[in-house]
Structure 1
Amino acid sequence: MTKASVLRPPFPPAANKDLTWQELHGSAPALAIAKLIDATPGRVLIVTADANQAYRLEQEIKYFAGEHTEYHDDITLFPDWETLPYDSFSPHQDIISDRLRVLARLPEAKRGALIVSINTLLHRIAPTSFVQGQALQIEKGQQLDSLKLRQQLENAGYRHVNQVMEHGEFSARGSILDLYPMGSQTPYRLDFFDDEVDSIRPFDPETQLSKDPIEGINLLPAHEFPLTKTAIERFRANYREHFEASTERESVYQQVSKGQLPGGIEYYLPLFFEETASLFDYLPDDTVLVTFGNIQASLERLWQDINHRYDQRQFDPLRPLLHPNELFLPVDNIHAGFKQYRRVRANVPAEMAQPGPTPFLTEAVTEIAADHQQKQPFAKLKTKLEQALANNDKVLLSAESAGRREALREIVSKLGFPVTLCSGLEECPTKQVGLIISPIINSFYLPDAKLWFITETELFGNRVVQSRRRQQKATVSADTLIRNLAELQAGQPVVHLDHGVGRYQGLTTLDAGNVTTEFVTIEYAGGAKLYVPVANLNVLSRYSGGEESHAPLNKLGNDSWEKAKKRAAEKVRDVAAELLDIYARREAKPGYAFNINEEDYQRFAAGFPFEETIDQQAAIDAVKQDMQQPRAMDRLVCGDVGFGKTEVAMRAAFIAVNEGKQVMVLVPTTLLAQQHYENFSDRFADQAIRVEVLSRFKTAKQSKGILEDLSNGKVDIVIGTHKLLQDNVKCHDLGLLIVDEEHRFGVRQKDTIKR
C-alpha cells in the first residue's frame, strides 16, 4: 500500500447518507479531514461540538494540509461571538472583523473548508447579499470626494477617532485619511490630491509609520448589520411590531434611533433586515459536511442555555428580547441543513458510533509522559524511541515553537538518539528522530506508514493555548519604544530633546524641498508650533512629570529649557556619585557563580503550563547569565501585568535552591506575600523544596519556628514584607534576594538591601 493510499480517507456517500469514521486516535482526525479536503473538488463544512474544538481543528488541519496548497487560505474558522445569549455587551472588534472577512470570502471560495462550532452555526446571520453589497472598493487614482467618503464610513459603522488603532476606526487630518478596514490585516493611509486618491499605503498602528504604496483596498462594513438611514428606519418599524416603542433615553429603541449602538446590539440583528440567513445559505449544494464530536448533545445543551437566559432576562423594559427562534436556528433546521450534504461523522463517542470504515489505521500513543519525580524522567520516551527505531519506524517529535524544539532536541540528544530538524511529515527521516514545529496537540501512530507522531503536549502534560487574538510580537528595540506614538492622543504633553515640553497635536503632511513628508506637530507656549519629521522621532519622549493637564509648556526660543536641563544634570551627578560609591563597593566584593544543572532546570521549566513569550524568555536567559557570573547580581525585570515576571523569579529561585542556597522574596504588602506563597508552593510542589511565608497571618509561635528553621537552613525559600530586613531575620546561606514591586520600597530600605 502506498503512502498516498494510506493517508487518503474514503469519500463520503451521496446526500442524506452518513459515513462514520472509526478508530482515529489522537489528532489523526485532523489529518483525515485534511486529506478529505484535498480529495474534495468543492467546499467542506466542518461543524464541531464546541468553540475550542473548532479553533484547535483549524490549526491542525491547516498544518496537515500544508501552507503551499492553493486552498490553504480558504481553510478558515468562522469565530464565535464569545458572548452569552442576550448579553448586554458586544463581541470584540477583532472577532467581528474576522467574521466579516469570512462572510465576504465565502461566495468566492471554490475549495477549502469552513470550520464552525455548533454554537456559532445556530445563530441567524445577515443575508448573503449584505457584506459584498455594502463593500466599497477604493483604488489609487480614483475620483472620490473625501468628505463623502467620511460620511460613507460613518454610515457603514466606522468610528471617527484621533488616531487609528483598531478595526473599524478612521481619522482625518487635512488631505490624509487613515482607516482600519474590517477583515484587513493592517490599517491604510489614503492621501488625497483634491478629489483624487493620490496614494494608498499600509501603516503600522504602533509607530504610525507608513509603508510601500499599494493599488487598492476593499472596505467591508463595520458591523454584521447596516446602519444606513433606511436600515435604522427598518429597525424602528420592526421593533414597534415586536415591542412597545420605549421613550426612555437609555432604551435600545431610542439609542438606535439616534444612530448609537448599545452593547449587545447583535442580539437585535434580525430587526435590521427583512429576513435573515444562516451559514447553510452561504455554501454550495455540493458541500461535504464533517461533524466532529457529539453534536446532538451540544445542541440540546445550547438550547437549554438559550431558553434559560431568555427566561431570566425577558422582563427588562429597556431591553425587551426577541424570541429565541428569531435569533437561533431550531434543532430541526440544523438537522435539515445537515441532510442536504454528504456527511462524515468524525470523533463520535464510542457508544454512539455506527459501523463504518476507517480512513487509515491508527493507534493511540501511550506510556510516554515524563515523570519529573523520577531520576530518569524521560525513561518512557527513551523506551518508546528505542522500540520504534529498532522496528525501522519513523518518529516525529512535535514542539509548539522554535524555543521548545531546541529544548526537545537537547533532551533527545542526551537520551542518545540522533536528531534531525524537519519542516513536515514528508521530511520524516529514518534511523533518526525528526523534530518539527507544529500546533498538533495529541500523539498518534500510523502502522501502515510506520510513522510515530509524538507531541510535547503529551510528553510534558497539558499546555495552555494562547488566545487566537493574542499575537506574539518580536522583540522591540529601545529606539522603537521611543518612536511609538500610538498611545498618545492629541493634546498630550511630550518632551523634545532640544526644545522641552510641548503638546502633541497629531501628524501633518507638508511639502519640504519638493518632497511630501509626514511631520509630528508639537504646540508650545504662546501657540508656537514645531514640526518634527517622522524620521527624527527619536528626539521625542513621553512627558512623565506629573499631571498631564497641568504640564508646564516651554517657550520656543527661550533658554528656560536649557537651564532646567542644567539643574537636572547637576542633581543627576550628585545621585550618580553616591550610586557609584555603592556599586564600587559591591563590585569589589566577590559574588557567587551558580553552576546550573541543565537537566534539573529543564525538568523544572517543563512544569510551566504556558509557552514563554519572546520577551519573557529573554529575561530568563539574562537572569541565568547573571547568576553564572562571579559577581554580585543586580537585575531589574520590568513588564506589564501578565507578562510572566513571577515565573522568571521562580526559575531563578530554583537555580539558587538547587545549588543549596536560600532565597528571600521581599514584597510590599501582606496580601501579596500570601499570594506569592501560594503560587510558589504550587510551582515547587513536585520539588523537595520548602517554601514559607512570614506575615501577620502567622502566629508568633509559627513565625519564631520559621525564623529558627531559616537560620538553620531548613527553609529554602522565605517570602515576606519589609520585616524580612529586620536584624532578627538570619539566613543560613542566602544566595538570592527577589524584590517584587521594588518601586514601592523607600530609599532607606533599598540602601539596606544594597549595602
Structure 2
Amino acid sequence: MFKSLKLYSGLAVDLERLFAELVEYGYKRQDKVSEEGDFSRRGGIIDIFPASFELPVRLELDNDRIASIKTFFPASGESLWEHRIVIVLPIKKISPHKTIPFSEESPLSSFIDLNKGDYVVHNQYGIGRFLGMERIKIKDKSKDHLVIEYDRQEKLYVPVESMHLVQKYIAFHVRRPKLYRLGGKEWLRTKNRAKKGIQKLAWELLTLQALRLSAKRTAFSQDSDWQREFEATFPYKETPDQIKAAGEVRKDMESTRPMDRLLCGDVGYGKTEVAMRAAFKAVMDNKQVAYLVPTTILAEQHYQNFSSRLKDFPVNLQMLCRFKTDAEQKQIIEGLAKGTVDIIIGTHRLLSEDVTFNRLGLVIIDEEQRFGVKHKEKLKTLRLTTDVLTLTATPIPRTLYMSLMGARDLSVINTPPENRLPIKTVVVEYDQDLVHQAVLREVNRKGQVFYLHNRVKDIEKIEDRLAKILPAHVTLAIAHGQMPASALEKTMAGFLKGNIDCLVCTMIIESGIDIPNVNTIIVENAHMFGLSDLHQLRGRVGRFDRPAYAYFMVPQHEVLDTDARKRLKALDEYSQLGAGFNIAMEDLEIRGAGNLLGVQQHGFIQAVGFDLYCRLLKETVTVLQKASPTQNA
C-alpha cells in the first residue's frame, strides 16, 4: 500500500498523532525548519519540510482544524503559494533495504490544488469534474471524501487515503475534456494508447542515451589555475544551485563519455555563467567551442559579455551572424577550419554546410526549441560525438523533471541571485499618465526602459506618441527584426552603452537579453501574448539589486476573453522570484514540456492529462532502465 500523510484545509488534526506519524516517517522535530525532514511547532503554526519538496509548508490551525496551507521561504518566513491538499511522503533514508518500485499510483506532485468545477483525472476512472469535499459515514465513522462527477452525472467518492490517485487535469489546449463513464472500458483503452506512445518516446530517449554512453572520448583535464582565475572574475556571489550545476557540468566533461546536459533555470538565474565556465574549460584543453543562440541581438550581447570576461586571457573569440559583412564571415569561417578561432558565438549560421571546425569539443545551445527542424536534426548528430550543453529559460514543470530523471541529464537552477528583488508587476488598462510617470521615474534614477509594441507596421507612430508625452531630454530609439542589420546593431550598441533611455521594440528582446541597467518594461496589448512569453518579457528587467517594474497594459474598454484574463491573473499572482515553474503549470500550452517532448506527445498529454502522463513516463523509464543492461552498466 502506498504510504503517505494527507493534509488538507478543514481537516481536524490530532497534534500528538500527527507528530508521532511524522517521527515514524523519519522526520525530526526542530526549533526551526531548514532542510528536508524537519518539522516544528509554534502555537497554532506547524511547519513541515516534506521529502522531495523545494520549500517547506506552513499549516495554520484554527481550533485544531487546518485553516490554511502555504509554501514559504524558510529564511524570511515570507508566504508564497496557498494549497488545498498536501501529500507528505516518508523520508527515504528510513528503510534502506526496502525500495518500492515506482508505479503510476506514486504521486510526482505533492500538491493537489483543486477548486470546485475543476476537471480532474483519477488514474483508474479517467477524467471527471471535481465537486468538492464531503463527509460520509461508513460503519459509524465519518470520513472526508473528494466528490468527482463523471458522464451522465454519475458520482465517485474518493476517500482521503486514495487522494494521491487524483490530480488536476492540465493539457496543452483549453478545450473542455470529455468526461468518462464510470465502469466503462473506454478510459482503459485511452490510457493504454497513451502508454504505447510514451514507451516509444522513453525508448528513443534511452537508446540515444545508451549510444552516447557507449561512445568514448578523451576526458577533459581537471580544472587548471587559469580556470580558477577565470571563475574568480565572476562579479557576483554564486547561488547554491549555480555551484551544483557547474559541478555537474564539470563532472560530465571530466568523464570519458560525451556530455548531453539540459540546464533549466528561470530568467536571469545565471545559466550563462555555467556555460561560460564550461566553454573556458574546453578551450584550456585546446578544443573549440560553438555557442549557438536564436537571435542576432543575443549573439551580440553574449559576444560583449564573453569579451569583457576573457580580456586578460589569450582566447580568440569571434561572432558569426548577419551583423558581419561577407568578407568578415569568410575570414571567421577560415579561422574555424584552421583552428585559430577558439570560441565562436553565432546564430543558426553556424550550422551551415560551409562551416567546419578543426577540433570542436563543446556545443552550447541557447533555447533549442527556437531553432527549425533541419537545424535540430544537425544538432542531434552532433550529440553523439561532441559535448552538448543546452540552456533553457522555459521552465520545465517539476513533475516532468522528476519523470525524466534517468532518461536525460538535467540540471535545474532554482535559487535567485543574492540581493535580487521580485519584479513589481502591474496589470492595467492603457494609461498615458502612467506611461509618462513610469518612464520618467526610471530615467531619473539613471536607468533605461523597454517599451514593447509587437507590430512593426505602426511602431514609428508609437515612438512619435511617446516623444510627444515625454520631456525632450528622454532619448528614444526603435529596434525590430526587419531593420537592416547595420542599423539594428548600431541601435543595440547605443542602448547597451546607455546612450538611449527608452527602446521602443518588438519581441526581438524576448530571449536572453540581459542589460542590468534596464529596470522598467512596459508591454502594450499584453492580452495578445502567451503566458510564457509574458513571463520571459518580465524577466528582461530586475537583474540588479534595485526595484524593477513590469507594466502589462491592455486597451481601454477592451473585453478580454477568458483565457487572456486567466493569463494576466496568473502573471499577477506569480510575480515572486522563481515563479517560472508555477507559470509553466499555469500556462495551458506548457511550452517547457512541449519543447522537450516533441509535438507527437501532445496528443497523449491531451488524452490523460499532464500529471498522469508524467507518472506513466517515469514508470516506463524505470522499467526500461531495469531491463536494459547498457543502462545499468
TM-score, normalised with respect to structure 1: 0.35
TM-score, length basis structure 2: 0.41
Higher relative strand content:
2
Structure ID, larger Rg: 1
